[in-house]
Every structure is written in structure tokens, then in C-alpha cells.
Amino acid sequence: MIIKEKYKYFTPHQKIIFCSKKYQTYQETKSLIKRLYKQTIRKPSTLLISIIQPLLWLIMFGALFQNAPIYLFEEYKLEYKEFLNAGIIIFTAFNSSINAGITIVFDREFGFLNRILISPINNKSSLIYSCIIHTWFITMSQIASITIITFYQNQANTNYLQNIIKLNNILTATIIITMIIISISNLSIYNGLILPGHIEFIGLTTFFLNLPTLFTSTALAPLSFMPNWLQIIACINPLTYAIEIIRNLHLNQLFQLNEIIINTNLLNLSGIHGMIILLFTNIISLISVKNIIKYKYDKT
């Protein structure tokens, strides 16, 4: 009894709280996102350049083809800059997402990734989630700036503006852009984990993925302008379906997802088919990047 009274003050007064795995993953992802945002705030020039680049594409290509015939693009009566807007929005999401893995590459080279991995992280996939969420917020800020400029450029076209500000169109466009961000970010993270360094990463994204992916989609021209072999490649490119859905949302007053967005000699696909294809690419990319991070850093 004397011993119990002597050590009664050593009894801890705080309760030990056992966190679930989901809550631990949430906390880990939250901490990694804070780290990424601190890096972004310390380098504001990178964010500024990433916002200016798509605006330059929009202004330069719009000015280059501003004298194109008014009935140039199939049944729509519009100018080229209106046709280009959807392509620039998706290409902005692609361009931002393809660089999501560069932070992992630099962390590997400077040794920060090893410090993160030896820390008590419960779920290594929190690295993936943090990069995707960080990229999503940065990309949405860029797309918001493009949308604002589009409002000022198309003030005379009231039907176009009404289609943009519809709630259903905004929600559908956000879902499409989010699926593009997730799939391309996963591809970028996958490359960041397997490539030797940043030189190989930049070379692959700039010369092999960036411009070829842009020119093999319908961002700059419709499918009817392309030869048959290029139409086949464009139909394989997931960006084509995202671009066509957003383009039809902006151009048609009453666009339904069951309407045809791809109409070629080989394929007739609706908006629902396009969303299924985008969802399928999301699942495949997420499984691939989870498997590679488990193989390389979570073998226990």
C-alpha cells in the first residue's frame, strides 16, 4: 500500500488516443501538403510563370488565327479563340500535372525523400495524395485566371458566357479537369520515382510528352481537319475526350453527356463514353503509381 501511494503521482493523466489508419493518412497528407505550399510560397516566380504560360498560348494562337473564316469549325458559328479556350484549359491542367513529380525528383536528389520515408509515416501513398492535391489547387488557380480573361474577350457573345456560368457546366468541367489532373499527376509521379534524375525527367516531359500530346489532341484543331492516321492517335489520347466534353459544354446551350462528341469513320463516342475512358485511365494510373511506390519504398 505504501508503494502504491508513493508512485500514484506517476500515473499519466492524459488518455492515449489510438488513431485510425485513415486519420493518420489524413494527418500525413496534410503535413506534406503544407510542405509543398511552403515551397511554392518561397518561389512565387514559378507560380507566376505557370499562370502566364497558358495565357500566352491563348493570346498568341487566338491572334494568329483571328482572321479564320467564321464557319470554319463544323456547325458552330464562332471565332477561333472561342474554339481554342477548351483546349487551353485542358492543356493547362496537363502542363501543370505533368510537372507534379518534379518535387519528388529533387527530394530524391537532395536526400529529403529518404528523411520523409524513414519518418514514422503510416501510409507511403500520402506522398501521392499530397502531390495531387497540391497540383489540383495550383491548376485551378491557373484555370480561374484563364476563365476571367475569357469573360472579357467574349463579352459580346452572351450565349457563350451563359453556358460557362451554368452550375451544371461548372460541376461537369471541374470533374473532367480533376480526372485529367489525377491521371497525369500519377504518370508524372511514376516517372519521378523511376527516372534517375531531373535531367531525364525534364527531357521526357518536355520533348516526348508535352508538345506531342498537345498536337495529337483536338486542342488546336477539330478531328475533321486531321488525316485518318492522326484521327486514330487523337482518339487514343485521353485529352481529346476531356477537351471535347468541355468544348461542347461551352458551345451548346443544352448539352447532354449522351450526345456524340467523337464522330469519325471508325468511332462514334458520346460524352458518357469519354468520362468512362477518363475514369479508366485514372484507375490504371493510380494502381501503377501505388505499385511502384510499394515496390521501391514499402517492401516490409
**Which residues, at least 6 apart from 91, have a Cβ–Cβ distance to it below 8 Å?**
54, 57, 214, 219, 239
Grid cell, residue 41, equals: 510560397
What's the whole-number average pLDDT of the chain? 77
Grid cell, residue 62, equals: 487566338
Domain range list for the chain: 20-297
Residue 6: helix, strand or coil by DSSP?
helix
Tens digits of per-residue pLDDT, 82-93?
778 888 888 888
Distance CA 40, CA 149 (A): 24
Torsion of CA 267, 273, 279, 281, to 10 degrees: -10
pLDDT at residue 162 above 70?
A: no
Least confident of 35-39, 157-161, 223-227: 157-161
Grid cell, residue 293, equals: 511506390
Beta bridge partners of 269: 262
Residue 128 neighbours by CB distance under 10 Å: 25
pTM of the predicted protein model: 0.81
What phi and psi values does residue 101 have, to the nearest 5 degrees? -85, -5
pLDDT at site 300:
47
Q: Residues 150, 75: contact at Cβ < 8 Å?
A: no
Q: Which residue has the cell 493547362?
A: 92
